[in-house]
Structure 1
Amino acid sequence: MKTALVAGATGATGSALVNTLLSDAHYDEVHILSRRTTHWRANDKVVEHILPLSRIADLKSKQPITDIYCCLGTTLKRAGSQQAFRDVDLEAVLALGRWAAANGVEAMHVISSIGADPSSRSFYLRTKGEMEQSLSTLGLPSLYLYRPSVLTGERDERRLIEGLGAKLAHAMRWLPGSERWQPVPVSRLAQAMASYGRDPQSGRHRIGSEQILSKRPGE
């Protein structure tokens, strides 16, 4: 039995990913880690785990989880402080990674960001880089780090920086190497994550915008 667990399922990409996985015969169960009950609870394929992010280590599952999809992420504005931001985008993701390593998870898929770098002068990119670096030390059999440039689509709040980034990427579309800066619809990111999840390869893999956009559903 193949089972997927999605953390951050109520966000834009997480929601699209859950819907994609539920229609995928590759998985017998889709587990959702959430702070509150979701509208998927009536689906026979869904198993909900209602836990705050601070208690990820307490996660219990009757069926072994084979694949984890981490769509956790917030904004500085919503978090309210840099530490609160790190609690979600770094600490919660690492807690999930540690749980995956301790519970025999075969593959972990995590949304990061283009430019993630632990030595970056940007707080956001530095935090994402620290997250990637720390996950890489956990000995996970298969780790996929998705590095989209700008995510577009329906969001739970308007993100000005992403809107400006999308316009900039569009203006740069004719420049050499511009593919890595192209905006990525959340639906395409969800489809790419599910596609890579069907046949994960061992080791660490960084998947950029150009790879996400070129990945066809079902491949």
Structure 2
Amino acid sequence: MTKTAIVIGATGLVGQQLVTQLLASEQWHKVVVFVRSSLNVSDEKLLEHVVDFADMPQWQADIKGDSLFICLGTTLSQAGSKTAMRKIDLELPLAFATLAKGNGVNDCLLISSYLANAHSLSHYLRLKGELENQLAQLGFQRFIAFRPGPLLGKRKQPRFSEQVVAAMQPIFRAPYSPLRAWRGISADQLAHTMSVYALLDDNIAKQVVQGESLFQH
């Protein structure tokens, strides 16, 4: 079995790891990425589109493949406002996924967040919950939402909250810790789990992968 993967958010912490792993896998014959700036990666399996995400109709015909991986995400401080954050975390991935579904893409795999809920008091968690709900309604053959806790790895722009959580990992990882649900997951582990689920031969239309399931592959 050889498949074509589509990745948005390929320059992010998990997205970079995911692209690297997909390119190294014999089960993916092509990896298509849509980015604002080049990854500067040379690989015959990689098809890179440097695009303006505000002008999707101009290149929507290029969104073709088997599985769409959505690895986009920002913070309020990075986005600058709740409106800008909503565009990045909700509107952009939803618009892209809608075009992908229209082009016959079968699967959609999303990096969401632990405690994502469309009714959350947290703006961040509410956006993630809303996105999950709307993607699930697009009618993909399979929609999988991965809900990790803090993401561990070296970012170009470090997030203070994740640095604090990373320092506290020994406490969170303790077998009987009441805070175990908040333990972090490394970017490469999450990328690996996503790629494994993408290749599963099942007929489950919607799945939520969280907790221990994130670490079992």
Determine if the TM-score, normalized by the shorter chain, exceeds 0.5. Answer: yes
Q: Are residue 9 (structure 1) and residue 10 (structure 2) matched?
A: yes
Alpha-carbon distance in structure 1 between the residues aligned to 2:178 and 2:106: 33
Paired residue for 1:82? 82
Overall identity of the aligned pairs, in %: 32
Alpha-carbon distance in structure 2 between the residues aligned to 1:193 and 1:208: 11
Residues 94 and 131, structure 1, Cα contact 8 Å, conserved in 2: yes
Alpha-carbon distance in structure 2 between the residues aligned to 1:53 and 1:95: 10
Deviation at 1:50, TM superposition (A): 1.6
Equivalent residue letter for 1:44: E
- Alignment match of 2:213 (pick from 191, 211, 214): 211
Paired residue for 1:126? 126
Paired residue for 1:19? 20
- Aligned alpha-carbon RMSD (Å): 1.8
Alpha-carbon distance in structure 2 between the residues aligned to 1:17 and 1:155: 15
Q: Deviations over 1:159-195 (max 9, x none)?
A: 1111223345542434367553221000100111111
1:129 is paired with a residue of what secondary structure?
helix
Which structure 1 residue ranges, 4+ long, deviate > 6 Å from structure 2? Answer: none
Q: Deviations over 1:113-136 (max 9, x none)?
A: 000001101111111111111111
How many residues are aligned here? Answer: 213
Paired residue for 2:111? 111
Paired residue for 1:67? 67
CA 4–113 in structure 1, closer or farther in 2 if over 3 Å, else same: same
Stretches of structure 1 that go unaligned for 5 or more consecutive residues are none
Paired residue for 2:100? 100
TM-score (norm 2): 0.91
1:38 is paired with a residue of what secondary structure?
coil
Residues 179 and 210, structure 1, Cα contact 8 Å, conserved in 2: no
CA 99–20 in structure 1, closer or farther in 2 if over 3 Å, else same: same
Alpha-carbon distance in structure 1 between the residues aligned to 2:214 and 2:144: 12
